[in-house]
């Protein structure tokens, strides 16, 4: 439990977020884009003690977070790389990549950067969460961080197809999202064994790999875990581990493997 918030505050946050998330879960596909754009505003109005409103990261903490993401993708970055980030938030990371890439596209439902002073090779692309207004084969490398858990599970296959279309042949989609077996990772973790808030679904490597392959990606591999050093044998070991853990009770699974499976981190190659 957070040391700075009371149990009553946490419960109020959970109940409000669950109510809003249920609204999104039951919405039609046509209704969702408008909800994506407004639900967080309503959440912050009704939960004034939300950590997104009260926590102020120091500049050194922000730089540390940006550098951690750079380490995630820098092996694929060259001065000739056209880069696409999905849901860039304040765009700090996208701006950092702009110093290393030829072009950076940042796709989001609104401009959250808070600054008009953007790199010359940076382009913000406003989209509805489903349809990306970019020509086919615009990027060599796509990236999303802590994003897939926030979109409706029905739309995740469409998301992979959208990114696939934006990539050039041989391009890569690098992503990181919370792993289901160490979750839930949203406010639900204090009150439930499954995500009921704005994490509409938390995933496993195997589930997202199947979706990526169905979208047309030819190769999927693990990106961040130490098992990645083992190459394809390590990938198959990871899938076997997930299959075995699917039969283990949730609390035991989280206690034993929460750190090992903190996130799903994938490299999907077109």
Task: Tell me the per-residue pLDDT of 101-113, one tens digit each, with 9 for 90 and over.
Answer: 999 999 998 888 8
Task: Give the pLDDT score at 2.
Answer: 44
Measure the CA angle with vertex 255, ends 17 and 56; round to 5°: 45
CA dihedral for 205, 206, 208, 209, sign (positive or negative): positive
pTM > 0.85: yes or no = yes
Percent of the chain that is helix, strand, coil (3-state, to 5): 45, 20, 35
Q: What is the mean pLDDT of residues 218-231?
A: 82
Distance CA 186, CA 122 (A): 31
State the CB neighbour count (10 A cutoff) for residue 111: 14
CA dihedral for 79, 209, 223, 133, sign (positive or negative): positive
Confidence label for 170 from pLDDT (cuts 50, 70 and 90) = very high
Task: Give the pLDDT score at 39.
Answer: 92
Question: Which residue has better confidence, 223 or 81?
Answer: 81
Confidence label for 3 from pLDDT (cuts 50, 70 and 90) = low
Please determine, for residue 137, whether its predicted confidence score (pLDDT) is greater than 80: yes
Taking each continuous run of H as one helix and of E as one strand, the counts in the chain are 9, 7
Task: Give the pLDDT score at 1.
Answer: 42
Q: Are 56 and 50 in contact (CB under 8 A)?
A: no
Distance CA 261, CA 225 (A): 8
């Amino acid at each position: 439990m957070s040391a700075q918030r009371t149990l009553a505050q946490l419960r109020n946050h959970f109940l409000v977020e669950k109510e809003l998330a249920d609204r999104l879960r039951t919405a039609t596909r046509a209704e969702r884009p408008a909800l994506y754009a407004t639900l967080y505003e309503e959440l912050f109005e009704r939960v004034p003690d939300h950590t997104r409103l009260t926590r102020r990261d120091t500049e050194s903490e922000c730089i540390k977070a940006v550098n951690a993401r750079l380490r995630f993708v820098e092996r694929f970055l060259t001065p000739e790389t056209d880069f696409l980030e999905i849901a860039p938030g304040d765009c700090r990371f996208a701006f950092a990549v702009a110093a290393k890439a030829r072009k950076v596209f940042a796709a989001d439902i609104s401009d959250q950067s808070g600054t008009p002073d953007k790199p010359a090779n940076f382009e913000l692309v406003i989209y509805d969460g489903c349809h990306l207004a970019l020509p086919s084969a615009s990027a060599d490398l796509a990236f999303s961080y802590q994003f897939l858990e926030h979109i409706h599970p029905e739309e995740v296959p469409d998301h992979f197809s959208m990114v696939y279309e934006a990539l050039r042949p041989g391009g890569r989609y690098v992503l990181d999202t919370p792993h289901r077996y160490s979750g839930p990772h949203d406010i639900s973790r204090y009150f439930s064994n499954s995500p009921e808030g704005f994490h509409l679904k938390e995933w496993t490597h195997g589930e997202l790999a199947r979706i990526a392959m169905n979208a047309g990606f030819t190769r999927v591999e693990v990106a961040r875990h130490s098992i990645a050093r083992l190459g394809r044998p390590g990938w198959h070991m990871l899938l076997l581990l997930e299959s075995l853990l699917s039969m283990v009770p949730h609390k035991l699974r989280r206690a034993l493997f929460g750190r090992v499976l903190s996130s799903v981190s994938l490299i999907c190659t077109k």
